[in-house]
Amino acid sequence: MTGRNGRTVRDLRRANRTAVLQRLYFDGPLSRFELGPATGLSSGSISNVVGELIADGLVEEAGSVDSDGGRPRILLRAAPGSGHMIGVDVGETRVRIELFDLTLTELSRVEKPLEQRRYEVGGIVGHIRDGVAEVLAAASVAPEQLLGVGIGVPGIVEHTPGRGAVVHGQTIGWDAVPLEELLREGSLLPESVPYFIDNGAKTLGQAEMWFGGGRGAHNAVVVLFGSGVGACLVTPEVEHGRAVEWGHLTVRVRGRRCRCGALGCLEAYAGAEALLERWREAGGRPPEGADEETALTAMLAAAYPLVGGDTADGGRTADPVALAVLEETAEYLGAGLSDLINLFQPERILIGGWAGLQLGARFLPAVRRHATAYALRHPAQKVSVELGRLGPDAVTVGAAILPLADFFARGGRRPDPAPTGPAPAWRTVLEERAPR
């Protein structure tokens, strides 16, 4: 039966299940009495939906509270073991795979190092396949229990009919790589378990908007500062969030060559790889054979010895070369942020990624100062620039949110068959959970 607005009874039931499940997930434990005003549903609808969700194993009792003069009210919550998700971060130095329960509690993880930043497609696919098998085995979770596998990758992701997610990663040498198709070949996962593949900056943004520094904001930009730089834009007009190739904004005409091949990109000055290269060119001495994270730690210690280095002697002076490069990098980043401020006028800008978090405490004041100086005064006065709050696992958590958002959108029903498009609107879930 179809109503005047085109919605069927089945659509209405799914929407009601979604509303109750989301409120219990984000705001629970709640009683049936509290769920009515929280969802706008009648007491009869609440009773029916809660009964269904308990019967499906998605909701469980979580104690009771006294009521005014009546019987104690039973509290309800989303059942942690009713679903599992895997999040994958295809990073610059390793592939990280984590298994979560429904409440995003980590159950197991594995990391697969990349040798000399090699993004060879077969190797990445093998790491993901092996990592998925390992985290499932470590937690004794059957593949059929998965709601899906979310994967954050560097580059632009295009969802194509029949082939699923195709990745265009110019900076890592990926040209229209059919990643989802390759993962399906020989996979231990049943066809009913979907893959959700998206840009890593976007999955970072999703995590910060759901559980981190973006909570409560309607307009935000989440910046990923690692070996390269990227960003995720979230506005009411862009409900799914949009990955922004911010790192390839031109900040200097005829400037340094970026790893994408163009000249003068922000990433050629502000990414950790370029930052360390500029330090070396200026006469700095990064540790021989060290990975980027170790080398950046050494650069920070050299520039700010009382913050990042061994302070036992108390007498070391700052390395002027490292300090000058870092200060120049802060200006480039601030100028890049000013473009985001002028274009999108966000309430918040959050800086995450391993390099952003590592440099953040000392780096952030200078970045804020330059962003304000380069941006238009009115939008600059309204934006706050802060560090992300979820740490180095934010991309993985955000990747796991992709199947979780799909699960919510289906009212707690598992997909069958596996979808080949992007996850439904995680931004809509944010709006549903906003304080009322």
Average pLDDT over the chain reads: 85
Measured distance CA(341)–CA(374) in Å, rounded = 10
Closest C-alpha among 126, 86, 78 to residue 103: 78
| pLDDT recorded at residue 404 | 93
21 phi and psi angles, rounded to 5 deg: -60, -45
Phi-psi region of 131 (alpha: psi -120 to 50; beta: other; left: phi over 0): alpha
Measured distance CA(217)–CA(434) in Å, rounded = 9
Residue 432 has pLDDT above 60, yes or no: no
Closest C-alpha among 79, 129, 85, 75 to residue 108: 85
Measured distance CA(53)–CA(208) in Å, rounded = 28
Read off the pLDDT band of 237 (50, 70, 90): low
pTM reported for the whole predicted model:
0.83
Closest C-alpha among 387, 398, 344 to residue 362: 387
pLDDT tens, position by position, 96-109: 999 999 999 999 99
Measured distance CA(407)–CA(135) in Å, rounded = 21
Identity of the amino acid at 158: E
| pLDDT recorded at residue 434 | 40
| pLDDT recorded at residue 311 | 44
| pLDDT recorded at residue 69 | 63
Place of tokens 């696919």: 125
Q: Average pLDDT, stretch 220-244? A: 78
pLDDT tens, position by position, 139-165: 999 998 999 999 999 888 998 887 789
Phi-psi region of 205 (alpha: psi -120 to 50; beta: other; left: phi over 0): alpha
Measured distance CA(207)–CA(85) in Å, rounded = 14
Read off the pLDDT band of 415 (50, 70, 90): low
- CB of 124 within 8 A of CB of 167? no
Read off the pLDDT band of 51 (50, 70, 90): very high
Neighbouring C-beta atoms of residue 436, cutoff 10 Å: 8
Q: Which of 190-199, 301-310, 369-378 has the lowest mean pLDDT?
A: 301-310
pLDDT tens, position by position, 276-316: 999 999 998 888 888 888 899 999 989 888 644 444 445 56
| pLDDT recorded at residue 131 | 95
Beta pairing partners, 169: 174
Count CA atoms within 13 Å of residue 143 on its CB side. 14
Q: Which of 128-132, 243-247, 311-315, 402-406 has the lowest mean pLDDT?
A: 311-315
